[in-house]
Structure 1
């Protein structure tokens, strides 16, 4: 069959530069020996280098045209081409509940959702690499005090070390996206337990950043009443982007104690 036509509704922008494709594939080398799951392989520009790594490679692709193309051009992957929606998959079943590396040229329109799913399976994914929209990569890698620091930054950095590796310009894609891209690598840190109620931690992070211009005292009021003695603490004069991951953990523990004692 001929080349696959990029589909706008799937957020497809096919990478044309083989040197960049190889550089992206090489990001998985920091987690050697583990099997690889590639998301959104398209016509296999990244796949062709991943299969040279000498490890098990599986690819998940939603576009039926791309699936047909891959089956025709990568016969060695016949049993390992999964035609499915990554966001609906049970990732523990891909490699029989064994750890794996997640990589891909991720569809821009669902990249954040992909990483939230990664967090749900963080104990199975010690390394995640790939290419995403530059703006999203900057958000993930941002530190406290930055305008781009937010929900993704904190929830990912709580469990992963984030490396912004390099920027990719628009002209190396078909069709060229309207934004620049970036390649990142996320490697699990040593955290095995946040040291707080993880569900409440997520709720506090999301609640406060959804009203990021407000002080914590106002943005968190749906969780902790302003009349609670704890809300008089100076930390509640801060805005969420001023707090580190560790400070959000500490805040979560204090809020939980306050809720128990009210």
Structure 2
């Protein structure tokens, strides 16, 4: 196992847990499978546990690091790769990823994401789905389960639906707490998100779809009739061949799109194609 260099203590406010298990690092690199023609982006490189392995295989790497004290450490550690390695001291939640697209290559995103912002960050990255080839993230195990969950499963919800609207989601493997320093109190997992080249199901208005999904899951123990009553009547749900007595976790992505499209049509005064 590699050791954390003296002089930088993991900061709780940044959600820092430094990966140190070489076996896990090599397994992650095999899953990513970087190539010399690839343009990778690493979010939260920390002390560079994955960075060196990526640089040895990939063509170009941009690293986005919030902690300003880590930026000079990374630049010094990887100065031999200066032609292909750039560090951006920035907030990944606010970063404009299109600024990195200086050629025809799509971005490949990787990162050990802080647990406290992982969901919000993934939603932010999904808005760049057309510029991204794939994403490999280390996340809290429960977040990966939510991303990959199917209709009817315990972890299925808003994150599952919107991630799967844009991407194919693969839950790859677990990472134990002892792979990190300091040791977190939760298990982690590696997930692969691959944006669809062509969306399998297309909503008329994605913002409307997100609103419907968010409203439906505000109180997930209640039925669609109760949760969506301000948006759509029980009779209208039935006309869409959706049972208003179902709980939201029972509905597929296609069915949520059906509700969303119906509301778009109603707003425009169009007769529903489902009637």
Cα distance in 2 for partners of 1:118, 1:32 equals: 24
- Map 1:37-52 to 2 at 5 A: 37-52=41-56
Q: Match of 1:246?
A: 254
- Please state whether the residue corresponding to 2:129 is helix, strand or coil: coil
TM-score (norm 2): 0.88
Q: Give the number of the structure whose residues are more often helix, by fraction.
A: 1
Cα distance in 2 for partners of 1:95, 1:3 equals: 34
Q: Match of 1:230?
A: 236
The root-mean-square deviation of aligned C-alpha atoms, in Å, is 2.1
Cα distance in 1 for partners of 2:174, 2:206 equals: 33
Residue 90 of structure 1 pairs with residue 88 of structure 2: no
Provide closer, same or farther for how the CA distance between residues 97 and 121 of structure 1 changes in structure 2, counting only shifts above 3 A: farther
Q: 1:220 aligns with which of 212, 221, 228?
A: 228
Q: Deviations over 1:43-95 (max 9, x none)?
A: 00010110011311110101122112111211135560111111111110013
- Please state whether the residue corresponding to 1:6 is helix, strand or coil: coil
Q: Deviations over 1:136-195 (max 9, x none)?
A: 000000000011001110000011111101001111111111100000101122434714
Q: How many residues align?
A: 260
- Greater relative contact order structure (CA < 8 Å, 6+ sep): 1
- Map 1:151-170 to 2 at 5 A: 151-170=158-177
Q: CA deviation at 1:28?
A: 2.3
- Map 1:80-229 to 2 at 5 A: 80-96=86-102, 98=104, 99-192=106-199, 194-224=202-232, 226=233, 229=235
- Please state whether the residue corresponding to 2:45 is helix, strand or coil: coil
Q: Deviations over 1:97-154 (max 9, x none)?
A: 7520010111111111111011110101120002010010000000000110011100
Residue 61 of structure 1 pairs with residue 68 of structure 2: no
Cα distance in 2 for partners of 1:33, 1:206 equals: 39
Structure 2 alignment gaps of length 5 or more: 271-275
Q: 2:26 aligns with which of 16, 19, 22?
A: 22
Cα distance in 1 for partners of 2:130, 2:35 equals: 14
Q: Deviations over 1:224-257 (max 9, x none)?
A: 3x4x741454522211100111111112112333
Structure 1 alignment gaps of length 5 or more: none
Provide closer, same or farther for how the CA distance between residues 205 and 30 of structure 1 changes in structure 2, counting only shifts above 3 A: farther
- Please state whether the residue corresponding to 2:132 is helix, strand or coil: coil
Provide closer, same or farther for how the CA distance between residues 205 and 245 of structure 1 changes in structure 2, counting only shifts above 3 A: same
Cα distance in 2 for partners of 1:115, 1:177 equals: 21
TM-score (norm 1): 0.92
Cα distance in 2 for partners of 1:64, 1:42 equals: 11
- Asked if the contact 1:133/1:180 (under 8 Å) is kept, the reply is yes
- Asked if the contact 1:71/1:77 (under 8 Å) is kept, the reply is no
- Asked if the contact 1:111/1:132 (under 8 Å) is kept, the reply is yes
